[in-house]
Structure 1
Amino acid sequence: MPNIAAELFTVRDWLGNQHQLHEAVHRLAGVGFEWVELAAVAAVDGPDADTSPATLRRILDDHGLRALSAHRRFGELRDNTAAELEYLQTLGCKMVAPPVIFDVYDYRDFDGYRRFLDDAAPVREKLSAAGIDFAYHNHSHEFVYFAGTNPMEYLIENSDMQMELDTYWTAISGADPAAMIRRLDGRIRYLHCKDAQVFPTDDPDWFAKPEPTWAPVGEGLLNWDAILPAAAASGTEYYIIEQDVCRRDPFDCLASSLQFLKERVAA
């Protein structure tokens, strides 16, 4: 089976305590997942946490699941690198990515990205020494042009870090995910697979714009016949399924996305 992970943010409402965590992991294993990306696990990281990272590792192990990667706040990675490294090593993660950086830096100013790259350098060095990749996870604001370029181009040109490219945010920004994957050849070891669809708004105005939202992979508008071959050619090894908002049961959405990718990604 190809390396396909479930992003736990998709089922964040089922991760509030250890009992829920057991049930969520059981359901993910039951539909065929072998990997997860950790995010929004309130049972471990929330204010009422009742589960240690070591216990989470045992829960995953008991269900035949492995933690591929984790989304961790960059401020913590920068300021408490040793503790974050211990967390990642306890769980066996291969990669870590900050879900955003705008909680620390101004994303509307290239100085914010410059400071991020400067601050990330020693973090990356320590993680790399431990065999853990550091990747940048994008949203849509990285594709907004100002001062003659955009933040994504700035990050590409001024760093060699891995990019955990998010296909949904890339597409709704107006960029072509397949073209961006080719542009980042060799730098997308981990691909965030998300699909997009649109629905009419409740606005009675006949020309109101439809609102974009998320869809199970293969059920939306993205061109996976272009995205997946580009990813394979560029060296992508891990495909991470995330759906920020689900219009039906999130576990069903993940199962549908998994089946779609299993049929199209080589093992």
Structure 2
Amino acid sequence: MASPLSIQLYTLRDRIAADRDGTLARLAEIGYRSVEPYDPTADPAGFRKTADELGLVVPSTHAYALFSKDAGEVFEAVRTTGTDRAIIPGGIDHDEFTTLDGLQRVADTLNGFAAKAAEHDALIGYHNHWWEIEPRFEGRTALEVLAGLLAPEVFLEVDTYWAAVGGADVPALLRTLGDRVYALHVKDGPGVKDEPHTAVGKGTIDVPPILAAAPGAVRIVELDSCAGDVFEAVAESHAYLTELEGRA
């Protein structure tokens, strides 16, 4: 059975800052049964209690906090939220992705996090933007080269929108990365940098072939920014993807 459609809570960061529990309740009312936190260290026990009450599961969480907080504290929070998968969504100098030496340093950083994660029965993943896609090495994106340098347990969460903006043939990229891909960030918009995103299905991204190229990956809706009402956008995204993939 396919995992439930999820949503990255960064999409609703302003609403969560004002009323976390009310925001989670509204997402559950829309039909989401899965959420991906962006800061697991923010009251993880309270978050888990509310998520349990609403029937929300957590397939993974972003863990930018690993760059600034004790790893043990972060992984304890990750596990408390209900997952064993922590994802690095940034925090690495973009220039590191433009050279082979830089990519090796990135891999060393991520592999180091993975070793710390293993001490807490957790896993590390990496989430791309466009700057891991634009640099090419003999026709391969920096992300593909990086994947070959990572420890086998390090997984990828491919942001399909930024992969497209970076110039990738996204279905081909996903097929190349194969089983390394645990999750997809599914988003839509005008397909350029520095412009607001739209509900999935309302922008320029050809979503169906992207999803078909990674049928087993967790689908996670995200809007980095939204020109209209964000709850309308996440509801429209849920309706579109539910119909597209025949999800419950």
Kindly indicate whether residue 243 of structure 2 is the aligned counterpart of residue 243 of structure 1: no
Gaps of 5+ in 2: none
The residue matched to 2:59 in structure 1 has which SS? strand
Give % identity.
Answer: 29
Paired letter, 2:12: V
- Structure 2 match to 1:180: 173
Distance 1:147 1:7, change over 3 A: closer
- Mapped to 2, the partners of 1:74 and 1:167 lie a distance apart of 24
Deviation of 1:14 after TM superposition, in Å, equals 1.0
2:57 alignment partner in structure 1: 66
Distance 1:29 1:21 in 2: 12
In structure 2, relative to structure 1, the CA distance for the partners of 1:32 and 1:55 (3 Å cut) is same
1:156 CA displacement: 2.2
Which residue among 200, 210, 214 is the counterpart of 1:227? Answer: 210
Could you tell me how far apart the structure 1 residues matched to 2:39 and 2:73 are? 18
Task: Encode CA deviations 1:60-92: one digit per residue, 9 max, x unaligned.
Answer: 112221222211126438x62211110111111
Distance 1:223 1:130, change over 3 A: same
Structure 1 CA distance for aligned equivalents of residues 118 and 246 of structure 2: 27
CA distance in 2, matches of 1:102, 1:126: 18
Shift of 1:262: 1.4
Whether the 8 Å contact between 1:14 and 1:24 is mirrored in structure 2 is yes
Residue aligning to 1:38: 37
SS of 2:45's equivalent in the other structure is helix
How many pairs does the alignment contain?
Answer: 243
Shift of 1:109: 4.2
Give distance in 1, aligned partners of 2:52 and 2:114: 27
Contact 2:187 2:199 survives alignment (8 Å) = yes
Question: Which residue pairs with 1:260 in the alignment?
Answer: 240
Q: Do residues 217 (structure 1) and 200 (structure 2) align?
A: yes
2:197 counterpart SS class? strand
Partner of 1:152: 143
Cα 1:133–1:58 change in 2 (3 A) is same
The answer for the alignment partner of 2:188 in structure 1 is 195
For 1:8, the aligned partner's letter is L
For residues 213 and 73 of structure 1, the distance between their equivalents in structure 2, rounded to whole angstroms, comes to 23
Q: What is the distance in 2 between the residues matched to 1:157 and 1:132?
A: 21
TM-score by length of 1: 0.80
1:168–1:195 Cα contact (<8 Å) kept: yes
**Rg larger in structure:** 1
- TM-score of the aligned structures, taking structure 2 as reference length: 0.86
Aligned partner of 1:203 in structure 2 is none
| Alpha-carbon distance in 2 for matches of 1:150, 1:104 | 14
Name structure 1 gaps, 5 residues minimum.
Answer: 46-51, 200-209
Which residue of structure 2 lines up, in the alignment, with residue 48 of structure 1? none
